[in-house]
Structure 1
Amino acid sequence: MKEKISALHKEFMNVRFNGSFTPSPSSEIGEELANLSIDDVILQLKYGNDEDFNLALSAFNESFKQVLITNDWINEEGIVLVLVNRLSSCEPNNRLIILQILRKLASQDSGNKEKMADAASLSALVKSLTRDKEERREAVGLLLDLSDLPAVWRRLGRIQGCIVMLVTMLNGDDPIASSDARKLLNALSSNTQNALHMAEAGYFKPLIKVAALGDDGAVDPLVKMFNAGKLEAKLSALNALQNLSNLLENIQRLINSGIVVRSVGFTLHTLEYLPEEMTEQLGESHLNIIVNIISSSPLETDKAAAVGILSNVPISNKKVTDVLKKANLLPILTSMMNSSSSTISSISNSIAEGVAGILIRFTVPSDKRLQLLAAQNEAIPLLVKLLSSGSLVVKCRAATALAQLSQNSVSLRKSKKTSWFCVSPSATAFCEVHEGYCIVKNTFCLVKAGAIQPLIQILEGKEREADEAVLNAMATLLQDEIWEMEEKALWILEKGKDEAVLNAMATLLQDEIWENGKRVFQVEEHRVKYGESAQVVLIDLAQNGDPRLKSTTANCWLSLNSYKFSPVTFETTI
């Protein structure tokens, strides 16, 4: 070996070193190279300062390129570890030379790879991933060469920042480094923990691939990722867990991990807030899954999210209605709501709001058969119940559904004059409002359903958000084919126990009632019973109501006043 080094001395005097390794040597540097012995090279590689190390590294590199150094000598002198140890302390151009030498050594002998595969050596190599472009490229190439050793997979994943840097290089603008980073990441991903770290760094494909293979150790890391990761990580974890669930042996693992409950809840709550145009994409299988959650989930939060999703699907989508009808959603909903106490206080408002919203779908007035199905499944008593015990949103939706049902009551009633009854109907079945026989499940009558009092109580309350829906429901009972105008006014006076109710209902019907209100007060019984309440309402409407009502209100008031009060009182009050 010494003879070979000596033979190079004269060569070094005339060598023009490649610029990527060292600058072209001057005659002084060439002289120093010529005077280096093999012992000097080894000594300076191990302990030399930057200048001496640079000379020794140049001598070693040239000898190595000329194949003047044997692998036995390299092993004997521990050159691999010497070079690795100098990586962190030498200058950038020397680090680049070291990495290139190490790559050649790794390609020539598997034993050299083993020497670079310990944790300390790998940590030194990983540091080069953070440096300049050429050094990063050589470092990732060397790590890729070492990745055929199983021990490297595990150790690299444990080095802080390694996988993050590899993912960064994968997404970088250096095509060679990016390609090597991808290959290295894929090699490392055979370790589930590494795949998890990649996903946390934003590279999800390896984790999904691992999950698809059904790795026994994939469930726990994925659950951890779902619980602690950001939204993108959660979605990727769910995707991977779905792949795992295709294998029968993984089902119990998933159940034991608790991810089934958490992932269902997460997915449901995400879907609940989708825009309407997105919910239209829900297919039959998705809808059936949601219905199954409503019927079988032990968690109120899941049920609330599920009914929230269904209530958000556009009512105009008849295919969805058909699927839900086929899935027997109506009896599931009524059974769920009725299984609670006499009020719905034990059921969250979100569930009640969702259920009331779904019942609007099943009570559209254009489909009497669908309305009949809803009525036969006890939807009407449930809606009446919701009027009394739900939030304002629940009350508004319940009143809307009842209004839709009531629109068809007139056409469905059985006339009192009908002679073809097989059995005479009960006297209690006769409805004075509809002037016929009404049965709740057949004619959807609000009067017989006991809905009037809860509706009025909403009007009597202090909050006004549900008034419009309530008044629309009550207006269905005042259709012209049922009532004369004075009868409408009388019905309002009978049902309205305070000025707020009278005001609300009178405003809804505007002057069509008050034009004929004087006919009501021509009857002494009506004057005595309702005169005082009507006076207060009439004066309030004249003072604060719609200007269009003032004239008709005054006429109605004068009709009442002619029996009990003087015109001057009204004029002064106004």
Structure 2
Amino acid sequence: MAESWDGSYGPGSQSDESYQFERLRVEPIYDAFVCPLTKQVMTDPVTLENGHTFEREAIEKWFKECREGGRKLVCPLTQKELRSTELNPSIALRNTIEEWTARNEAVQLDTAKRSLNLSSPESDVMQCLKYIQYMCHKSRSNKHAVRNVDLIPMIAEMLKSTSRRVQCKALETLQIVVEDDADNKAILAEGDNVRTVVKFLSREQSIEREEAVSLLLELSKSEALCEKIGSVNGAILILVGMTSSKSENLSTVEKADKTLENLEKCENNVRQMAENGRLQPLLNQILEGPPETKLSMASYLGELVMNNDVKVLVARTVGSSLINIMRSDNMQSREVALKALNQISFHEASAKILIEAGILPPLVKDLFTVGTNQLPMRLKEVAATILANVVNSGDDFDLIPVGPDQHSLVSEDMVHNLLHLISNTGPAIECKLLQVLVGLTSSPSTVLNVVAAIKSSGAIISLVQFIEAPQKDLRVASIKLLQKVSPHMGQELADALCGMVGQLGSLFKIVAENIGITEEQAAAVGLLAELPERDLGLTRQMLDEGSFPLIISRVVKIQQGEIRSARFMTPFFEGLVRVLSRITFVLAEEPDAIKLAREHNLAALFIQLLQSNGLDNVQMVSAMALENLAQESKNLRRLPELPPPAFCGSIFTCFSKQPVLTGLCRLHGGTCSLKETFCLLEGQAVEKLVALLDHTNEKVVEAALAAISTLLDDGVDIEQGVLVLCDAEGVRPILDVLLEKRTENLSRRAVWAVERLLRTDDIAYEVSGDPNVSTALVDAFQHADYRTRQIAERALKHVDKIPNFSGIYPNSSQAAF
């Protein structure tokens, strides 16, 4: 036949294609080569006793069918019974057929080689590739023949075809050609062929992608090719992505996963997998690999960027192993372990896992050890960072022994050691150790131990000095620590700040920085807010240094929306308002405080702040400040000056006539204003305070009720105060506070206010018909503290629930709470 491909056959089954390819002979086929049963060229010819030759498999099948059918064993050609079923191999014929087949296949492969190029018609190329597949399936030796005639590079060249059918068939053919053949794999891996195959992985949901994965799986079985596959940019990334894809078919996912398992033989591939989210191979190497590999993988882990979920996985899987490496005497191993542990300790959940794995004792030992085996300072900084991370995870460190004497991390001795280390190291370690102390003060049960250690060691001065440190992280850590301990040693802090030049001013400079709102600013103003509010000396120093106008400016800017920050806005704003409220606690002793409050109309500002919905502390502090301002109103009112009587009027009183005075405050009986005397009758203060009586936070309610109570206090016209509350519809809300009994303090204040309201006959008459109010007063009369019981008694007399004769209890002061 001519040396060209017969394009008449269809794709068909493998047997169909085999038949078609059997027809593609160059030399003529001899009848003796063909089995009478299969009609195909024999590969294992055998001869019967009568001399007829058949394919061994075919004649054996014939004999089997005869036996199963109960028929005589006859020759398929003559139909004559056979005396023997012995099969004699026809070796000469088999050798002849093999030689004939080899000559034909060599010529056919050569013909395929000439047809296999990018300029050939698609149909010819497809037929060539199918023939090569057929040849390789037929005999393993044919794979050697394919290699020997240099067909592998030519098949790989077909991957560059513009026809997707050709590309797909070429990938399929290459997989068959290299299957279980290391030499063929090595030839295919030459040049850019592997890179070309990898490119097909980027074709999502395509047959080419599936064939490329199958080919890479086969190539990855060769350890020599694993590094080459992994070196192709994007190969491992795409394969890792495929294993987690929900859009791939299951077979492709499994092949991608097995390919990655094979690629794990190369350390560089393991690192790439970890970088792209497949971390388990690296963790397995740390757990089970040889010592050098363990260190290499742990070192890489210390450089890897991980999300929080990955940190938890790493902590659970290799946390204990890394801690054991950290305990070794080899400094290089300790360094590698420390850096890896540092990476995974930054997340709260993973830090807690490390604590359970026992990281604290060796970590503390590394920090405090001095001598031949001590860590260099750069590694002590890493150890301090890890300790700061795990401490800030919020675990209970009271129960974890970390020292040789079974001391816990929050024991006074251990805190002393930390404070001593802070004073003998550089800024970087100082910062981390301060963060450790910040973490230890997060729990009410441990903060007192830290406070006791600071007091007994006299460390307050050195801690305050860090406020002026040039390193921002160090400043922030020290300010946060001082803020945490200030509720328990506020006076010591105030004395230290007042006694050291510049420290107080430095805090206000931080607050004044016009860079939005930072963590440092929030911590600084939080520290200032925690200082004793009634410390006159401290407030005077703030006044002298001009600190309050700065605070007022920041508050106003936040109110007007000029300063915005989502993260630290709330603590910063609350701290500002608390610092500003200091002014109202020293009004009686400090004229400059009154002057500043007038200049900046603080009463109006605090009234506005009452409407800071969602900021309970701002509302509470503003109400408290208004209470303080209102208490001072009685002293600041200007009483009218009456003109002297005429001569006759001074002698004869019947001739004198009282002048009519207008414009006087109905509550204070003098000349009042919100700005000058802080009178609450202006600026809708009363209405806004009454609105807060319905607040969900009882502390806000208590502060609002205290401010409202200044309208009913001694020294003002109580009857007018009641009328003011009636106008503001405030009587019912005060009665509701009494009925709710939310806290003991709130109940005491409510009883006091209700008793004042009941002095007005109309209100007493109306309330007398409300059994709930009477019951609440009776309950206070029976169960409250001594003073509240007295007040409740008077209230019950107003509503005729107790006979109005001399009281059960002696008279005492009726001043407000």
Give TM-score, length-normalised by structure 1.
0.59
* Deviation string, structure 1 residues 322-378 (Cα, Å, up to 9, x no partner): x24xx2x3332222112369998544644423223334458859x578795114595
User: Is the alpha carbon distance of 1:283 and 1:101 closer, same or farther for their aligned partners in structure 2, counting shifts above 3 Å?
Assistant: closer
| Equivalent residue, structure 2, for 1:260 | 294
Return the offset for 1:68: 4.0
Say yes or no: does 1:397 pair with 2:428. Answer: no
Say yes or no: does 1:465 pair with 2:476. Answer: yes
Say yes or no: does 1:80 pair with 2:80. Answer: no
What RMSD in Å do the two structures reach over aligned CA positions? 5.3
Q: Which of 331, 348, 363 does residue 313 from structure 1 map onto?
A: 348
2:307 partner SS: coil
Say yes or no: does 1:157 pair with 2:175. Answer: no
| Equivalent residue, structure 1, for 2:561 | none
* AA aligned opposite 1:379: M
Aligned partners of 2:206, 2:395: CA distance in 1, in Å? Answer: 63
* AA aligned opposite 2:432: V
Aligned partners of 1:181, 1:363: CA distance in 2, in Å? Answer: 50
Aligned partners of 1:489, 1:119: CA distance in 2, in Å? Answer: 93
| Equivalent residue, structure 1, for 2:544 | 539
| Equivalent residue, structure 1, for 2:53 | none
| Equivalent residue, structure 2, for 1:478 | 489
Aligned partners of 1:490, 1:139: CA distance in 2, in Å? Answer: 80
Paired residue total:
438
Worse-matched range after superposition: 545-554 or 453-462: 545-554
Q: Please tell me whether the aligned partners of residues 128 and 135 of structure 1 are also in contact (alpha carbons under 8 angstroms).
A: yes
The higher relative CO (CA closer than 8 Å, separation ≥ 6) is in 1
Q: Which of 125, 150, 156 does residue 126 from structure 1 map onto?
A: 156
| Equivalent residue, structure 2, for 1:18 | 8
* AA aligned opposite 1:154: A
2:457 partner SS: coil
* Deviation string, structure 1 residues 425-449 (Cα, Å, up to 9, x no partner): xxxxxxxxxxxxxxx9xx9431223
* AA aligned opposite 2:486: A
* Deviation string, structure 1 residues 85-140 (Cα, Å, up to 9, x no partner): 44225333332333344444555566554321137221112212332244345434
Q: Which of 492, 495, 501 does residue 495 from structure 2 map onto?
A: 492
Q: Please tell me whether the aligned partners of residues 362 and 374 of structure 1 are also in contact (alpha carbons under 8 angstroms).
A: no
* Deviation string, structure 1 residues 528-555 (Cα, Å, up to 9, x no partner): xxxxx98644422455454433354565
| Equivalent residue, structure 1, for 2:146 | 116
Q: Please tell me whether the aligned partners of residues 285 and 297 of structure 2 are also in contact (alpha carbons under 8 angstroms).
A: no
Aligned pairs (5 A) from 1:328-367: 329-339=359-369, 345-347=377-379, 349-360=381-392, 367=398
Aligned partners of 1:170, 1:363: CA distance in 2, in Å? Answer: 46
Aligned partners of 2:148, 2:412: CA distance in 1, in Å? Answer: 72
Q: Which of 263, 269, 275 does residue 225 from structure 1 map onto?
A: 269
| Equivalent residue, structure 1, for 2:338 | 303
User: Is the alpha carbon distance of 1:363 and 1:459 closer, same or farther for their aligned partners in structure 2, counting shifts above 3 Å?
Assistant: farther
The percent of aligned pairs where both chains have the same amino acid is 12
| Equivalent residue, structure 2, for 1:94 | 124
Q: Please tell me whether the aligned partners of residues 141 and 180 of structure 1 are also in contact (alpha carbons under 8 angstroms).
A: yes
* Deviation string, structure 1 residues 441-496 (Cα, Å, up to 9, x no partner): xx9431223421221112344655235423324414437xxxxxxxx389716873
Say yes or no: does 1:289 pair with 2:321. Answer: yes
| Equivalent residue, structure 2, for 1:455 | 463
Worse-matched range after superposition: 89-98 or 124-133: 89-98
Aligned partners of 2:394, 2:364: CA distance in 1, in Å? Answer: 13
* AA aligned opposite 2:345: L
| Equivalent residue, structure 2, for 1:57 | none
User: Is the alpha carbon distance of 1:306 and 1:409 closer, same or farther for their aligned partners in structure 2, counting shifts above 3 Å?
Assistant: closer
Worse-matched range after superposition: 448-457 or 63-72: 63-72
* AA aligned opposite 1:190: K
Q: Please tell me whether the aligned partners of residues 279 and 312 of structure 1 are also in contact (alpha carbons under 8 angstroms).
A: yes
* AA aligned opposite 2:110: L
Return the offset for 1:386: 5.6
Q: Which of 241, 260, 274 does residue 307 from structure 2 map onto?
A: 274
User: Is the alpha carbon distance of 1:313 and 1:554 closer, same or farther for their aligned partners in structure 2, counting shifts above 3 Å?
Assistant: same
Return the offset for 1:83: 2.9
Q: Please tell me whether the aligned partners of residues 84 and 121 of structure 1 are also in contact (alpha carbons under 8 angstroms).
A: yes
Q: Please tell me whether the aligned partners of residues 159 and 171 of structure 2 are also in contact (alpha carbons under 8 angstroms).
A: yes
* AA aligned opposite 1:303: L
Aligned partners of 1:407, 1:399: CA distance in 2, in Å? Answer: 14
Say yes or no: does 1:135 pair with 2:129. Answer: no
User: Is the alpha carbon distance of 1:284 and 1:382 closer, same or farther for their aligned partners in structure 2, counting shifts above 3 Å?
Assistant: farther
| Equivalent residue, structure 1, for 2:281 | 239
Aligned partners of 2:455, 2:295: CA distance in 1, in Å? Answer: 44
2:345 partner SS: helix
1:64 partner SS: coil
Aligned partners of 1:282, 1:166: CA distance in 2, in Å? Answer: 30
Aligned partners of 1:506, 1:172: CA distance in 2, in Å? Answer: 56
* AA aligned opposite 1:451: A
Q: Please tell me whether the aligned partners of residues 471 and 508 of structure 1 are also in contact (alpha carbons under 8 angstroms).
A: yes
Aligned partners of 1:552, 1:174: CA distance in 2, in Å? Answer: 77
| Equivalent residue, structure 1, for 2:516 | none
Q: Which of 543, 548, 556 does residue 581 from structure 2 map onto?
A: 548
Aligned partners of 1:309, 1:80: CA distance in 2, in Å? Answer: 59
Return the offset for 1:264: 0.8
| Equivalent residue, structure 1, for 2:86 | none
User: Is the alpha carbon distance of 1:397 and 1:235 closer, same or farther for their aligned partners in structure 2, counting shifts above 3 Å?
Assistant: same
* AA aligned opposite 2:480: A
| Equivalent residue, structure 2, for 1:437 | none
Aligned partners of 1:182, 1:506: CA distance in 2, in Å? Answer: 60
2:155 partner SS: helix
1:445 partner SS: helix
For structure 2, list consecutive stretches of 5 or more residues without a partner in the other structure. Answer: 12-19, 31-98, 240-255, 508-523, 552-578, 600-817
Give TM-score, length-normalised by structure 2.
0.43
Return the offset for 1:380: 1.0
User: Is the alpha carbon distance of 1:510 and 1:65 closer, same or farther for their aligned partners in structure 2, counting shifts above 3 Å?
Assistant: closer
* Deviation string, structure 1 residues 292-323 (Cα, Å, up to 9, x no partner): 243336353541441453353249x97764x2
2:455 partner SS: coil
For structure 1, list consecutive stretches of 5 or more residues without a partner in the other structure. Answer: 22-59, 213-217, 413-439, 480-487, 519-532, 562-566
2:150 partner SS: helix
User: Is the alpha carbon distance of 1:234 and 1:477 closer, same or farther for their aligned partners in structure 2, counting shifts above 3 Å?
Assistant: closer
| Equivalent residue, structure 1, for 2:219 | 188
Return the offset for 1:192: 1.0
Aligned partners of 1:281, 1:143: CA distance in 2, in Å? Answer: 39
User: Is the alpha carbon distance of 1:107 and 1:387 closer, same or farther for their aligned partners in structure 2, counting shifts above 3 Å?
Assistant: closer
